[in-house]
Amino acid sequence: MTLQRNVAMTMSFLCLTLAANMAHAVPVQGIFVDDPRCDFHPQTTLSHELGNVLSGFPIDEGLDVRIDPGKVVCVGDDGIANDFAVTITNVSPNSWVDLFFVADEGTLIGNADGSVSDLTAPGFTDAFKIDNLGSNANLVAGDNGNLIFEPGEAWTFMVANFIAPASTPPFPVLGSVGAFSVSSSGDPLSNASILANPVAVPEPSTTVMTILGLLGLPLLTRRRLRTAHAKTSHSGVARRRLKSISLMVVAALFSLVVGRSAMAELGGFETANGYAGPFPQDVWSYDAGQTGASFIPSQYNTGRWVELTGSSNAGADAQYISQHGYGSGGANVAPFALAVRAIAPSTDGSFDMTVRYGVGVDDLGISPSTPLQSATIGFDICPGGTVIPGSGFDTVFNDVPAFSLSFGGTDAAPGATIGFSDHDPGNANRARLTYIDGSTYNSQAVNWTSGRFDHLEIALDMINQTYDLTWTKDANLATKEFDAGNTPTVIASGASFTNGFSMLDFLYFRTHTDPSNGQVQAGLEKSFLDNFEFSVRAETVPEPSSLLLSAMAFCGGGMLVRRRRAAKKRSAIADNVA
């Protein structure tokens, strides 16, 4: 059988494997929350559980696990033989980052950095990040220096003062496929888990270039070996070398094809999206009215939601950006959306509030520090009006922003900004849709659907530093949610960024003071945002590795063409001889 047929069959097999591989994945919804123990780590969303293939984990999330006696790290020895060296070998075709060792419910970990929760089963259990940094440098062997758990790597890390429920073995057992933390309660074959995030897949163009280069490698080698065979009798050695190179190609192609990346969204804001009221989880529920002074619990102002300006009144609850019910059941009853309200003044006397959201891998599918060519963000919105506390809705239209949302950049130098104005009595008391073109404020009257969600979409062009903005009116008044069906209205096309940016790493949610008649001020009554969705295209400027892949592609493609031309020439010579 020829090499070409071998490679073709291999590619067909890999395509089938890819489909099967994706079907076997068991995504999870985990979140790590830091606390004062051991090392600090930022709030991290975790999308996959890795585990022992002997316990039923799919091969694309599979590990080979070995447990040996270990030593304490970060904490003192409790005098019990409960310190373990856990060796995990990555038998999957995927590379992983952000590996966390997580206790099941009822299990305690001495060297914990913080806690992890399964967002489908609220509650927290001990956890630590598997790394070789800080006081909790538990990773003692196996990493090649990049903290990426690559296929075939075997990592050994220490678990100190490990105490498991009496119903499970006294040493770490990684079972319960798809269940961890509280959701793994009561499983006699599991007392711990490992959560991680996948490394992003190469872009299709990168994969194609690599495949071409890899295909050319054995062809080039085969040609050289044929030449060598004409001068030596060691044809068996030549064949074995060719076979080895072909196997290397197959392995490389396999690792390229079966990789994958995570994809989620900001919300949602329902419990299934990881949000829960009344405000117990710092990253998912954020109450700006209870930050800036003494506040309980203390985790409101940490994680991915951080207040930059706002109320310093710990008892005030009239200025917030948080999950909030928008149905008839009240604040803590579904359905939920992100409520924005500022009718209590901040300590400076204004109604200004800024809350920053740190975009994550779970939002974009790639690292938020990745330079982008473009990004599209869509979300549903139901604007409110501006209110004078104690007097009701403001009757003076000033055409000033009441709410704004900035994408990228910094708070002081935002990238692109849209929002809505104070309500306009001349527009049936509806707010105007606003946007900043460069440094110029613009507003446009739109026929918002009263008491319902409409849809906004902003398309960011990082190459030309411009954006487009569209508004789509709700198509079904029978539901409170946005229903598609109407044609989008273009509000802005080719508007310029206020400040240049290429990374979609932060969003800035703001309320603004309405000056009303100049004698009093007004703030924003409840407005709702929901169902954020992101679509991004990463920057494709070649890195050195990409340039190498390009060279491989050209070499591979050139060898394929050269081989075909040579075959035609030999055929023509044979015809002439005949």
Kindly report the CATH number assigned to the domain that includes residue 372. 2.60.120
> What CA–CA distance (Å, rounded) separates 86 from 226?
49
Q: Is residue 490 situated within a structural domain?
A: yes
> What CA–CA distance (Å, rounded) separates 382 from 375?
23
Q: Are 339 and 528 in contact (CB under 8 A)?
A: yes
- Confidence (pLDDT) at 254: 42
Determine whether 404 is exposed, middle or buried from the number of CB atoms within 10 Å of its CB (0-12, 13-18, 19+). Answer: buried
Q: Is residue 299 situated within a structural domain?
A: no
> What CA–CA distance (Å, rounded) separates 481 from 451?
10
Q: List, run by run, the mean pLDDT of 10-residue segments along the chain (578 residues).
A: 50 44 64 89 89 84 91 94 94 93 95 92 92 95 92 95 92 89 80 90 48 51 48 52 50 40 52 54 35 38 64 58 80 84 80 84 81 92 91 92 96 96 88 97 94 94 95 92 91 96 93 91 91 82 47 53 59 56
Number of domains in the chain: 2
Q: Is residue 14 situated within a structural domain?
A: no
Q: Is residue 518 situated within a structural domain?
A: yes
Q: Is residue 263 situated within a structural domain?
A: no
Q: Are 447 and 471 in contact (CB under 8 A)?
A: no
- Confidence (pLDDT) at 271: 66
Give the orientation angle of helix 544-577 with respect to helix 204-231, to 10 degrees.
50
Nearest to 356 by CA among 416, 296, 308: 308
Q: Which domain holds residue 189?
A: 24-198
Nearest to 214 by CA among 554, 499, 489: 554
Q: Is residue 152 situated within a structural domain?
A: yes
- Confidence (pLDDT) at 494: 94
Q: Is residue 266 situated within a structural domain?
A: no
Q: Is residue 294 situated within a structural domain?
A: no
Q: Are 528 and 381 in contact (CB under 8 A)?
A: yes
> What CA–CA distance (Å, rounded) separates 327 from 451?
11
